[in-house]
Amino acid sequence: MQQQPLKILVFGAHPDDCDIKAGGLAILYGQLGHTVRFVSVTNGDAGHHEIGGVELARKRRAEAQSAGAVAGIEYHVLDNHDGELEPTLENRKKVIRHIRSFVPDLILTHRPNDYHPDHRYTAILVQDSAYMVTVPNICTDTPALSYNPVIAYLSDGFQKPNPFTADVVIGIDDVIEKKMDMLHCHTSQMYEWLPFNAGKLDQVPKAPADRRQWLEHRLEQFRNTANRNRTLLVRLYGEEKGSKIQYAEAFESCEYGGSLSEENLSTLFPFFD
């Protein structure tokens, strides 16, 4: 029986967060006919060492749209200032309305323990919206949902107070080049701000073709995700396939919203034999 199309909503704090953590997953969903929307909760207007404000916000919105076009997904950028996001009632209502208007089956977002306050508060805003999306007397201009969508966390490497523990790992070998093409669209981040902030700007090539090749140093991140979660990959994909996956993205079930269970895992993540 043909599965009904899914709707996947990913909240990242900045334009490029969703791509780094779930770009491969988004491409895989799209190939199966499902609908994916990325939402950047801030406009990224502080994430650079030379430009900022409106100019940077416009640039990063354009980069996000280019990345979305590569993956064949929607990419929305909210007009909150980078580095100044707060879990206010106003921002919670924005998130509630986005969830209700999209009617997702699955929501992905950051964990609430993270190095960046925008990441933490994006997580809090999504968690605070989880129950409220079903309450008709909240945000009465947007119809309430009759159910709580399942929420899962994007991966990270932070250990305290609780380390990330994957409940789902998705092999992305077949789409890794297209995911890298998505990251390549974020010129201001991949080739400018992030290398500058890491003290490695002098290592970035000038020519676009050379830059795309240089960007492949990021493959190690996705290779590490696969290797760290090899046992789970084998359980989900079987020994033959799971043992050979080189690159992966991982996700952890969130206690807010609907529950990710053995019964709905293969429906929400329809990538396993």
Report pLDDT for 3.
74
Helix axes 17-31, 176-185, angle to 10 degrees: 140
200 in a structural domain: no
Average pLDDT, the chain: 97
Distance, in Å, from the CA atom of 143 to the CA atom of 139, rounded to the nearest integer, reads: 8
Q: Is residue 202 part of a domain?
A: no
Polymer length in residues for the chain: 273
Rounded average pLDDT over 42-71 = 98
Asked if residue 217 is part of any domain, the answer here is no
- Return d(Cα 190, Cα 194) in angstroms, integer: 6
Q: Is residue 261 part of a domain?
A: yes
pLDDT of residue 2: 54
Give me the sign of the Cα torsion angle 54, 60, 66, 68: negative
Residue 272: φ, ψ to 5°: -105, 145
Q: Binning pLDDT at 50, 70 and 90, where does residue 1 land?
A: very low
Number of domains in the chain: 1
- The percentage of residues in the chain with a pLDDT greater than 90, rounded to a whole number, is 96
Residue 185 lies in a domain: no
Residue 99, domain CATH: 3.40.50.10320
* Residue ranges making up the domain that contains 104: 7-171+249-268
pLDDT given at position 48: 98
Q: Are strands 248-257 and 168-171 parallel, antiparallel or unpaired?
A: antiparallel
Residue with tokens 């925008």: 118
Mean pLDDT, range 20-27, rounded to an integer: 98
Specify if 179 maps to a domain: no
Sorted by sequence, the CB contacts under 8 Å of residue 250 that are 6+ apart come out as 155, 164, 166, 168, 169, 170, 225, 228, 229
> What is the mean predicted confidence (pLDDT) over 11-38?
98
Residues 157-167, mean pLDDT to the nearest whole number: 94
* 58 is a domain residue: yes
Q: Is residue 210 part of a domain?
A: no
